[in-house]
Amino acid sequence: MSQIRGHSNYLLAGCTSDEEINFPADLSASVDWVRFDGADLPFSIVGMSDVMPYSSARFRDLTENQLKAYERAFVSKTAAMIKKIKPDVIHAHHLWIMTSAIKRSYPSYPLIASSHGSDIRQLITCPHLAERVIAGCRHLFRVLALTKKQQQMIHSLYKIPDSHIVVAGTGFNDSLFTLKIKPKVDPVILVYAGKLSSAKGVPWLLHALQNITDISWQLHIAGEGAGSEKEAIVTLASEISENVHFHGSLSQEKLAELFQKAHVFILPSLYEGFALVILEALACGCRIVATELPAIQEMFSEPYPDYIQTVTMPRLKDMDKPLKQDEQSFINNLSAAIRKQMIAATNQPDLPEHEIKRYLAPFKWSNIFNVIQKSYHETIQMTSTKMA
């Protein structure tokens, strides 16, 4: 979208040393990497969540020397990028260590940052890193939040003025995720897309489906996981039903095709910054069953239409772990909601196109980018004013 609007981009990101990432020839000169596992940093790539769909380290486990090396690597690459192209604005992702380090190193440079939710979770669960993160992030001129609730949390936790935080939300690709006629409901096609982890509620989803024996169903799981959590989920699925199919990580094109064939999308997540995948699934005509996340309450006005159904969250500890005494009621409620939407899909496989388009109009990527572009201009102006 930024290229369509006449902007040129330069990407700086982290990856593993052995990762092959191919860009078109005309873009390859506009990309640089901080490589983990040997090239730039001698330790594994660090995930913004403690459980990532690939081998990774956790920020909470990094030593002080590793944290300093992490900061140096990103600041050094940023310095080279600034010298090479002199960007009008730098757009960082996550209110976290890299963003803070760059802001401290270049306090007067136009820097805008997006919060994706996992940064807030890290700040809460890694209190020993809070001071080094807040030291730079609190001086940002513009922060893009996903929801109003997140805006409030950013203001409270990072001490960033409300006037510097913009609720931008996020958008989906409406040229790719589109409505198509649904297949015959025999069986009902269910889909989950996301990480294979407990924090995403996948184990309780599987137990909920185990309760539904009077309606024929298939569950398609798109996404990856790693370690013992992934192994436990795959094992549980094999014990519960032969109708659970794992697709691994899918391209956006393949994910759209899967959504277009599915009748019900389920997101049983216990923590979520902004459930973009719900917008993508709904755009493809899927009925929605999701936990009662703040992001969903902001996305859709209550009362929800009958094809969007939320499930009461269990009480949580450590932000994304259900209390043991609440697990069975969570499973039962999830099972009842899924079953209701399965019956509705049997009676009416296709959703009303005009309603879906009306609900999703504010979330088109073009509309979201208008907010981001305005924030770019404001950041540049505020920086210029402060330096004058």
Kindly report, residue by residue over 212-253, the tens digit of the pLDDT: 999 999 999 999 988 889 999 999 999 989 999 999 999 999
CB contact at 8 A, 267 and 291:
yes
Q: Is the four-CA dihedral 260, 263, 268, 274 of positive or negative sign?
A: positive
Give the pLDDT score at 348.
93
Confidence class for position 193, pLDDT limits 50, 70, 90: very high
DSSP string, 101-130: HHHHHSTTS-EEEE--SHHHHHHHH-GGGH
Give the pLDDT score at 1.
57
What is the mean pLDDT of the segment spanning 111-140? 95
User: Do 188-362 and 11-171+365-387 fall under one CATH topology?
Assistant: yes
Give the pLDDT score at 367.
86
Give the pLDDT score at 366.
84
Classify the phi-psi angles of 161: left when phi > 0, otherwise alpha if psi is within -120 to 50, otherwise beta.
beta
Q: What residue has token string 């001086």? A: 139
Amino acid at site 217 = W
The residues facing 323 across adjacent strands are none
Give the pLDDT score at 302.
75
pLDDT of 113 strictly over 90: yes
For 11-171+365-387, CATH gives 3.40.50
Instruction: Tell me how many helices (H) and strands (E) the chain has.
Output: 13, 16
pLDDT in tens, 43-89: 999 999 887 777 889 999 999 999 999 999 999 999 999 999 999 99
pLDDT in tens, 154-185: 999 999 999 999 999 888 999 999 999 999 88
Give the pLDDT score at 363.
87
- Whole-angstrom Cα distance, residue 226 to residue 51? 7
Domain boundaries, given as residue ranges, for the chain = 11-171+365-387, 188-362
Amino acid at site 122 = Q
- Whole-angstrom Cα distance, residue 320 to residue 313? 10
Q: Which two structure tokens, joined as six digits, stand for 364?
A: 């088109």
Question: Comparing C-alpha atoms, which of 127, 91, 86 is closest to residue 111?
Answer: 91
Give the pLDDT score at 319.
74
Give the pLDDT score at 54.
77
CB contact at 8 A, 123 and 130:
yes
Confidence class for position 3, pLDDT limits 50, 70, 90: low
- Whole-angstrom Cα distance, residue 105 to residue 52? 29
pLDDT of 326 strictly over 90: yes
CB contact at 8 A, 270 and 200:
yes
What CATH superfamily is the domain 188-362? Glycogen Phosphorylase B; (3.40.50.2000)
Averaged pLDDT of the chain: 91
Q: What residue has token string 């760059």? A: 102
pLDDT of 362 strictly over 90: no
Please state, for a pLDDT cut of 70, what percent of the chain lies above it: 97
Give the pLDDT score at 386.
64
